[in-house]
């Protein structure tokens, strides 16, 4: 999911808080000449997904605070095949994402604190406000281009290797 979404948004956020985030993003866009805010453009970390289909390495931007999670992949029109965006929710809990203002179809990979993939929402609908929930408590969500999970045969139960997850 993209993330407030960025891709996707955390749907459990109260409507007033979502409005506050949107107002802040609009203000930031005005200050930057109308360009969307890039939460961490250019700062990538390595993340690996390991399972029966092999090891798959991605370069990811990590969204670690409310403003970054609110922006996510919103307004972006492309993402490299081996890239993604990792949302760090700081504590394990059920989450829901959405695709508001996210133009890219995405696969959302929901990950628990140990790095185990809990569930995957494949081929999410761009620009949708429909919520996409985790199937249980998660610490993070990895958003990759739609079709990536199927193409690489990534499944629930596979393990994600990144410093955010503790075993």
Domain 15-161 fold: Jelly Rolls (2.60.120)
Instruction: Tell me the backbone φ, ψ of residue 69, rounded to 5 degrees.
Output: -65, -35
Determine the Cα angle at 40 with ends 11 and 3, to 5°: 15
| Domain extents in the chain | 15-161
pLDDT value of residue 166: 87
**Number of CB atoms found within 10 A of residue 125's CB:** 14
Is the C-alpha dihedral spanning 111, 117, 120, 126 positive or negative? positive
Q: Are 96 and 131 in contact (CB under 8 A)?
A: yes
Reported pTM: 0.77
Could you report the per-residue pLDDT of 30-87, keeping only the tens digit for each? 333 334 444 445 599 999 999 999 999 999 999 999 999 999 999 999 999 999 999 9
Q: Are 99 and 127 in contact (CB under 8 A)?
A: yes
Give the mean pLDDT of the chain: 83
- pLDDT of 18 higher than 60: no
């Amino acid at each position: 999911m993209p993330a407030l979404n960025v891709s996707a948004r955390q749907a459990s956020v109260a409507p007033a808080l979502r409005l506050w985030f949107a107002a802040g993003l609009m203000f930031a866009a005005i200050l930057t000449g109308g360009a969307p805010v890039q939460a961490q453009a250019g700062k990538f970390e390595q993340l690996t997904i390991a399972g029966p289909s092999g090891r798959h390495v991605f370069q990811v931007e990590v969204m670690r605070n409310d403003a970054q999670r609110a922006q996510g992949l919103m307004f972006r029109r492309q993402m490299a095949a081996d890239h993604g965006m990792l949302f760090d929710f700081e504590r394990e809990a059920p989450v829901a994402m959405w695709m508001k203002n996210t133009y890219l179809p995405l696969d959302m990979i929901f990950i628990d604190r140990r790095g185990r993939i809990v569930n995957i929402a494949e081929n999410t609908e761009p620009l949708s406000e429909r919520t996409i929930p985790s199937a249980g408590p998660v610490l993070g969500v990895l958003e990759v281009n739609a079709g990536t999970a199927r193409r690489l045969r990534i499944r629930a139960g596979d393990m994600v290797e990144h410093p955010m997850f503790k075993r």
